[in-house]
């Protein structure tokens, strides 16, 4: 099960970014939340030039799985 019910609706990088930031809001406030917000921003900067649609979908799928893992941790 995904951290938030909207996970199956994520189709684009902007939707993924918003989804991950919403997940961050559910984490305890303070250093943990700041760490993951920073990690999300950095990851988007690293993958900003990605233009292969198949690779983008792989990244989206992996990011949602990772968010699920973090939220269950």
DSSP state of 2: -
Q: Is residue 50 part of a domain?
A: yes
Q: Tell whether the model's pLDDT for residue 2 goes beyond 60.
A: no
- pLDDT tens-place string over residues 14-70: 899 999 999 999 998 899 999 999 999 999 999 989 999 999 999 999 998 998 898
Domain containing 65 equals 7-72
Residue 46 belongs to a domain: yes
Residue 26, domain member (yes or no): yes
State the residue for tokens 């970014």: 17
Number of domains in the chain: 1
Q: Could you give the residue ranges of the DSSP H alpha helices within the chain? A: 13-25, 31-46, 53-72
* 55 is a domain residue: yes
Query: Do the domain assignments include residue 24?
Result: yes
Could you tell me if residue 45 is inside a domain? yes
- What is the band of 4 on the pLDDT scale with cuts at 50, 70, 90? low
């Amino acid at each position: 099960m995904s951290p938030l019910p909207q996970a199956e609706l994520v189709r684009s990088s902007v939707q993924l970014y918003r989804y991950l930031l919403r997940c961050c809001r559910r984490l305890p406030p303070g250093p943990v939340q700041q760490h993951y917000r920073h990690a999300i921003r950095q990851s988007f900067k690293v993958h900003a030039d990605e233009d292969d649609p198949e690779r983008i979908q792989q990244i989206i799928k992996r990011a949602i799985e990772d968010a699920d893992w973090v939220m269950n941790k």
